[in-house]
Amino acid sequence: MRALVKPTAGPGLEMTEVPDPKPGARDVVLRVLRTGICGTDLHIDGWDDWAAENITPPLVAGHEFVGEVVEIGAGVRQVAVGDLVSGEGHVVCGRCRNCLAGRRHLCPNTKGLGVHYDGAFAEYAVLPESNCWVHHQHIDHDVAAIFDPFGNAVHTALSFPVVGEDVLITGAGPIGLMAASVARHAGARHIVITDASEYRLDLARRIGVDLAMNIAEHDLTEVQERLDMTEGFDVGMEMCGQPVALRDMIANMAHGGHIAMLGLPSEGFGIDWSSVVLKMLTIKGIYGREMFETWYSMSVLLESGLDLSPVITHRFASDDYQKAFDTARQGQCGKIILDWTVE
């Protein structure tokens, strides 16, 4: 089969032929239909310090995907040939305290498809049955391909109640944009999103945020005045991993406010902990999705009318992967889809 592989330790990916995957007793094999390109894939392609530390070539990359089940292992009971499946990219141990208690998203032994195991940038992919989310309702294949990052957005956006609340989102990348859509759908009052990219801020405006602000040109205190806010933001969603973003968020939170932090900083940094204490703020780290409560919420949100189509801005045939990666790296895009049904 064709697969997009990290062949050796160094920059670049290569489309090449590799053996078709075979399922273990509790695995399924999917014919991959669509995949999404993630920031992690850009790290693997560029071979930065993170990739050099975490990736062992050769490796089939990719962890955002949807496919049709074409083969199942002897022990598979809940997934059938012909099912349409989105893949949960975090593979947990099933044996630790959190896994045994049903808190699989907290497993300390989590491994990643397309990072520690061969992933889904291929015509076929193998996946544990326990990592399959079967779509029982009609769903657009492009949307189904990005259930992994959509789950990050839902996990972040619904970590704290947002009905009637004033919400600040720092970072208008695809996950920030999806979180804004979820917060709007869930009944937030004011939604403000910040970024330095006018392209992505325009996408946020199309989604329907109350204010998309270029943080390089304006200050968050201006936002509060424009929206006639008197006490600061009730819920913050930090999506970009920039130290200044979290500092500004803390400074503009209401007393008793809640912050969900998904953005991953590249290194440690200081914040004003006195403000955290005196304002009695709650800061919650977010990683991945709650398996599978978040997935249930994702499907229900889509069934109730949530529209993710504005977030998907570019589509490429799988053989045009280099152009797709170049587009993603330039940042003038939302979510990018690779179609594996055409070459």
Q: Please report, in range form, the residues annotated as the binding site.
A: 38, 63-64, 93, 96, 99, 107, 175, 195, 200, 262-264, 286-287
Q: How many residues does the chain have?
A: 343
DSSP letter, residue 117: B
Q: Which of 201, 165, 200 is nearest to 182 (CA)?
A: 165
Cα 334 to Cα 36, 145, 177, distances in angstroms: 11, 14, 9
Report the sign of the C-alpha dihedral through residues 86, 91, 93, 98, in that order: negative
Catalytic residue among 43, 135, 141, 185: 43
- Bridge partners, residue 133, by sequence: 86
Question: What torsion, rounded to 10 degrees, do the Cα atoms 48, 52, 57, 63 define?
Answer: -60
Is 40 annotated as catalytic?
A: yes
205 SS3 class: helix
Specify the amino acid at residue 167: V
Specify the amino acid at residue 55: I
Q: Is the separation of the CB atoms in 321 and 4 below 8 Å?
A: yes
208 SS3 class: coil
Residue list for the binding site for Zn(2+): 38, 63-64, 93, 96, 99, 107
Q: Which of 37, 53, 29, 42 is nearest to 121 (CA)?
A: 37
**C-alpha span between 147 and 224 (Å, rounded):** 33
The stretches of 124-272 forming alpha helices (DSSP H) are 141-145, 147-157, 174-186, 198-207, 220-226, 243-251
Contacts of 231 (CB under 8 A, 6+ apart): 254, 255
Report the sign of the C-alpha dihedral through residues 129, 135, 141, 143, in that order: negative
**C-alpha span between 189 and 307 (Å, rounded):** 19
Catalytic residue among 8, 16, 35, 40: 40
Active site residues: 40, 43
